[in-house]
Amino acid sequence: MARFLVTKASVTYLGTAFPYSTLFVNIVGSFILGVIAGMALGRIAVPETVRLLVGVGFCGAFTTFSTFAVEALVDRPMEIMVLNVTLNNILSIGAAALGLYIGVRA
């Protein structure tokens, strides 16, 4: 449901020239998962059920690699494809690293 709402808002406010919604959900989901993983590695004991619920349940349903892959290849000029792939990888990994850093220090 959250991903659907992000997609609807993205299309309404930003249009369809670039896959903004997929980029946004991948960045946010990577950050959330990074925080949870960091907390589990740090000083906060995160129960396995919470890690699975948030990580696999929410983040797994919220983010998407398959949509990202298809959107990178279908109906896009080469420049948009390269930008999409670059931004998704750099920003999602960066968001996960930031989340991990924050989570470990929580």
**Mean per-residue pLDDT over the chain, rounded:** 94
Residue 38 lies in a domain: yes
Asked if the model's pLDDT at residue 75 lies above 80, the reply is: no
What's residue 41's pLDDT? 92
Residue 46 within a domain:
yes
Count of domains forming the chain: 1
Tens digit of pLDDT for each residue in 34-61? 999 999 998 888 899 999 999 999 999 9
- Tens of pLDDT along 77-99? 999 999 999 999 999 999 999 99
Q: Please report the pLDDT score of residue 43 as a whole number.
A: 85
The values of phi and psi at residue 87, to 5°, are -65, -45
pLDDT of residue 84: 94
Q: Is residue 49 part of a domain?
A: yes
Does residue 97 fall inside a structural domain?
yes
- Give the structural domain span for 44: 21-105
Instruction: Answer whether residue 26 is part of any domain.
Output: yes
Listed in sequence order, the residues at least 6 apart from 4 whose beta carbon sits closer than 8 Å to its beta carbon are none
Residues 6+ apart with CB under 8 A from 59: 29, 30, 32, 33
The reply to whether 95 falls in a domain is: yes
Domain-embedded: residue 9: no
Mean pLDDT of all residues in 7-32: 96
In a domain, 67, yes or no: yes
